[in-house]
Structure 1
Amino acid sequence: MEKEDFPKKEKVATNAAGSIPQDWHQIVTSEHINEAGGWTPDSCQKRLMTFCSTEKVSCEIQNASMGPDHAKIQIAELRLTLKKYGKEFYAKEQARTKKTANALVSWSIVKQLFLAKMIEECGSRVRRPNDIKNIASGAPRNKTTLETIDESTGDWTLDTARQKLHEFLAKRKIALEYIMEEKGMPSHRIYIAKLDFTIDGKQYAYADSAANKKAAQKKTALELCMRLFKDGKIGANIAGPGIWMNPRRAAAMNNDPPEKLKPPKPIKNMDKRERDEYACKVKLESIMPISNFQTATSLFMDHIQKTLKEVSDRFLHEERENPDNQAKLKSGEIKGIEALREILGVMQVGALAGQINLKGETEFLAVLMTKNKPTFPLLEKLAHKISEHMSQTYHENYKVIVSRELGGLELFRLAEPRVTILMSVASPKCRPALNLAEDVKPEPEDPTIEYIPNDQCIRALAELRRAKWYHVCAQKIQNCTAVARIIRDMTLRVPTWNILSDWNIQLLVQKALESAGRPLPISDGVQRIFSCLAGGLIIKGGEGIIDPCEREPVDAMKDLSDQDREDITSSAQHALRLMGFDCLNKILGIPSLEAIARQYDTTAPENPEDIKAEDDPTAIPAGL
């Protein structure tokens, strides 16, 4: 056969590199760029670095290579973990050159961030994630400045940790010298950076490796900064009053936490009152919730309140568009548009409202008020609307479910730190009517509607009244919250006191301190609580405590049995004896004051008499 006998074929320019791109233009089309908000692999890298700096997360691309030298493939991998939003973004790309692989993996992450509405379109004004989502959803701009931190890193990153570590060690006049080592051939050389120093008798040492010296030093400094943050030596990377942060390198300096509460003078020179007061302050310091958790809780409640306000406005708009309601408004049967509002408001109750929550607690209570008697269909509708609005307005991962046992909603903050709000639902129409005339009957309930049990609504209304009463009365009394927090911690540690509810504690502390007639130190306030109980206040035949939030005179501790009252009285009497023998630390569950003072003076010799089995802070003294 001749050459002309074969069919003619056009020559096609083939890529000798195969499917692995040499340049990003070979695989990224204009449609891909439009889908990513106009960001290209060339323009996105600077925006990604700005985003990571603003959100205080490390943006370190992991590079690797595979294949022979004549056809080597470069692999780039990047993972962004945003714990305060409860989200994670991951991308892995490969190319013939390291530059192209890094550009592609950065573009892939930026595309994911744009689709998640966490960055703006290319060419638009740079905004924070929540501002972008508010603009997209049409919601008003969120002016909340509260920010949570990553409790594992303190929001320190590769770009900020080295500077912070240098500042921290310079204040303590500790020389900072990285011990550098090199390993491997020039083409595969890695650098190892080591640091070793001692702070307050504890040694900090770490070594890490990278492809260059600067990256190795950054990784070593970040690990040591994280350890110092967990030990309470340095503060989190968050701006406070008077602290300026460079937007290009967001690092908050001069914000280290204060040192632990030291004794004002040697323990042996203190009198009994000074020792008791210092012991109470040490206990309060150990049970106070960390500031990051309080910020997360406040931010969660702020989002809940704003969301419920938006949902309430939507319900009001629907009612206003109803023709029947429009006719009633014109005739004057309904006075004002606000009379149609179904969702009235939400309020914190319980320990969170009284500011006596303890470290480690993550579940709190709230009460939602409605105009009419609440129903389970209303709860289902509320849960759907709240979940929808939160997902459109906030980047934090929230979850809302209906709880039939609670007769309300359960709201979960899935980002770190996690918080749960148990929200009961009540209405003023759930209150039992008094002195009804014979011809006046309560409003009948529709048998086709599934109402929330009335006893659950009445219980929620009682919690609401108690929270309002305690807020008004407790703020007038010095150290009322501090004493209530100590007593509440005791009820969780000592089985005898477990029977006391949060309302019992708040009422007991408020009445005891108010009757003193003068401001009391914390230790004297604790002693007065024990004195009131030891004198037989709550036992059968005692004066008792009348519940101020009920219409009729009711014993506030009516749920306690006679045996429970006797046990608490006996325990309070034993606590008074322990305080008389200068053993308040055993009641509070802390080490002896001598052992605490020794933590600040490591050179002092240990006294064998101070180390006893009964000084174990976890042990409960006999008789309590």
Structure 2
Amino acid sequence: LDTIEQFVSAVETALKSCSDQLNPSQPSTIDNTSVTSINKSPLLGVSRIGALVKNLLIKSDRLFQIVVICTEWPTMNLFEKLFSVLHSNFHETWKSQINIQCQKDDETIQVHTNTVEGQMSVSISFTSSSIPQEDSQTSEQLLTKTNCLNALYAMHSVRWFQSHISTRQHASALIRCLRYKTKISSNWQSLSSEIIEILIEHTLSKSVSAVCAFRRVLEYLSGDGPGLRIPWETDSINNIYDKLSDQERNDITHEAQIGLRFMAFEQLNKWLEQYDIPKVMKSFQKRSYPDDQNQVAAKRQCLESDNIEEQ
């Protein structure tokens, strides 16, 4: 975690240093008086998104995500300029350790570094809060609205998670278990972390144990997951499955049905291809903690879940 934090922080620092370089204040002369014009930076800031900021990392995670928030609809010119100056804005200790690539297809900048645990990458995307109100435009000078909206919705997802999920006992551990399954099962590779988070929010309540919530998630997925929309996309009524193909939905349903059968015979460890699952699930069944200990309890369960991958 320390290595990840250092790497992501280095990228954030470099991005913030780019802001002044992209649009420095320029002196101008008006009525024979030298003044400095105030130019608004095209970059408002940067924001972490995804599993890193939600504290949902599992050991196999190697890709982390950052969004650059722009004052206006980001342009291809801004995208290319930022790419060209980014490397020079890294601290000297990082310059020889990173490789920066421009991905024009999905309009992201990828920063890679090698560590003792393998390659790590940070994906930088672009958005602006004004995008939803703007009419769709096809100008080659602007980044596509779809990519900008996806980045904006990812930020909304973080805020929703922090207000609805982060303080719930066992939630983070359950999400990590299910995310781990998406890494080891080809049938579940299309099941995003966001869908899992919505399902946990829907099934996990104060009156429901973590084991029961886990079973309910599998039952929901076994029934093809109808009826739940994406809560942070307030301008749409998209179902959580809308972006999946029929084959992907069938694969998810089939795998969830297999999981339910294993769970019914108390063999969930075989489904997750691990042997510490009974211990973790037993810990989930312990009585609830007082409200003032919920956060500590959740962190303890997350650590127990993390040990799944270290065997």
State the TM-score, normalized to the length of structure 1: 0.39
Paired position in structure 2 for 1:116: none
Cα distance change on mapping 1:393 and 1:409 into 2, 3 Å: same
SS in 1 for 2:88: helix
Q: Is the 8 A contact 1:546 1:554 kept in 2?
A: yes
Paired position in structure 2 for 1:455: 146
Cα distance change on mapping 1:384 and 1:565 into 2, 3 Å: closer
Matches of 2:251 and 2:114 in 1, distance apart? Answer: 41
Paired position in structure 2 for 1:585: 269
Matches of 1:568 and 1:382 in 2, distance apart? Answer: 39
- The one of 111, 114, 129 equivalent to 1:411 is 111
Q: Give the number of aligned pairs.
A: 273
Please list the CA deviations of residues 283-315 of structure 1 after superposition, one character each: whole Å capped at 9, or x if unmatched. Answer: xxxxxxxxxxx2111101111222222222344
Structure 1 or 2, whichever has the larger Rg, is 1
- The one of 143, 154, 161 equivalent to 1:470 is 161
Please list the CA deviations of residues 91-117 of structure 1 after superposition, one character each: whole Å capped at 9, or x if unmatched. Answer: xxxxxxxxxxxxxxxxxxxxxxxxxxx
Matches of 2:49 and 2:177 in 1, distance apart? Answer: 19
Q: Is the 8 A contact 2:137 2:145 kept in 1?
A: no
Paired position in structure 2 for 1:307: 14
Amino acid corresponding to residue 87 of structure 2 in structure 1: S
Matches of 2:18 and 2:246 in 1, distance apart? Answer: 48
Matches of 2:159 and 2:169 in 1, distance apart? Answer: 18
Cα distance change on mapping 1:560 and 1:443 into 2, 3 Å: closer
Cα distance change on mapping 1:580 and 1:457 into 2, 3 Å: same
Matches of 2:240 and 2:28 in 1, distance apart? Answer: 46
Please list the CA deviations of residues 425-444 of structure 1 after superposition, one character each: whole Å capped at 9, or x if unmatched. Answer: 122333244xxxxxxxx598
Matches of 2:136 and 2:230 in 1, distance apart? Answer: 29
- The one of 548, 554, 560 equivalent to 2:244 is 560
Matches of 2:136 and 2:218 in 1, distance apart? Answer: 48
Matches of 2:237 and 2:185 in 1, distance apart? Answer: 30
Q: Is the 8 A contact 1:508 1:529 kept in 2?
A: yes
State the TM-score, normalized to the length of structure 2: 0.75
Q: How far is the alpha carbon of 1:396 from its aligned partner?
A: 5.8
The residue correspondences of 1:536-547 to structure 2 (distance < 5 A) are 536=223, 538=225, 542=226, 544-547=227-230
Matches of 1:305 and 1:518 in 2, distance apart? Answer: 41
Q: How far is the alpha carbon of 1:421 from its aligned partner?
A: 0.7
Unaligned runs of 5+ in 1: 1-293, 434-441, 595-624
1:372 matches 2:72: yes
Matches of 1:490 and 1:561 in 2, distance apart? Answer: 20
Matches of 1:568 and 1:309 in 2, distance apart? Answer: 41
SS in 2 for 1:367: strand
Q: How far is the alpha carbon of 1:346 from its aligned partner?
A: 1.5
SS in 2 for 1:424: strand
Paired position in structure 2 for 1:530: 218
Q: How far is the alpha carbon of 1:570 from its aligned partner?
A: 4.5
Q: How far is the alpha carbon of 1:519 from its aligned partner?
A: 6.4
Matches of 1:394 and 1:571 in 2, distance apart? Answer: 43
The residue correspondences of 1:174-185 to structure 2 (distance < 5 A) are none
Matches of 1:479 and 1:402 in 2, distance apart? Answer: 39
Q: Considering Cα pairs closer than 8 Å and 6+ residues apart, tell me whether 1 or 2 has the greater RCO.
A: 2
Q: Is the 8 A contact 1:320 1:340 kept in 2?
A: no
Identify the structure with the greater helix proportion: 2
Q: How far is the alpha carbon of 1:568 from its aligned partner?
A: 3.4
Q: How far is the alpha carbon of 1:548 from its aligned partner?
A: 0.7
Q: Is the 8 A contact 1:396 1:413 kept in 2?
A: no
Q: State the identity %.
A: 23
The residue correspondences of 1:31-50 to structure 2 (distance < 5 A) are none
Cα distance change on mapping 1:592 and 1:487 into 2, 3 Å: closer
Unaligned runs of 5+ in 2: 279-311
Please list the CA deviations of residues 251-308 of structure 1 after superposition, one character each: whole Å capped at 9, or x if unmatched. Answer: xxxxxxxxxxxxxxxxxxxxxxxxxxxxxxxxxxxxxxxxxxx211110111122222
Q: Is the 8 A contact 2:191 2:252 kept in 1?
A: no
Amino acid corresponding to residue 10 of structure 2 in structure 1: H
Q: How far is the alpha carbon of 1:454 from its aligned partner?
A: 2.4
Please list the CA deviations of residues 235-255 of structure 1 after superposition, one character each: whole Å capped at 9, or x if unmatched. Answer: xxxxxxxxxxxxxxxxxxxxx
How much is the aligned-residue C-alpha RMSD, in angstroms?
3.3
Paired position in structure 2 for 1:488: 179
Matches of 1:413 and 1:520 in 2, distance apart? Answer: 41
- The one of 411, 420, 423 equivalent to 2:124 is 423
Q: Is the 8 A contact 1:474 1:480 kept in 2?
A: yes
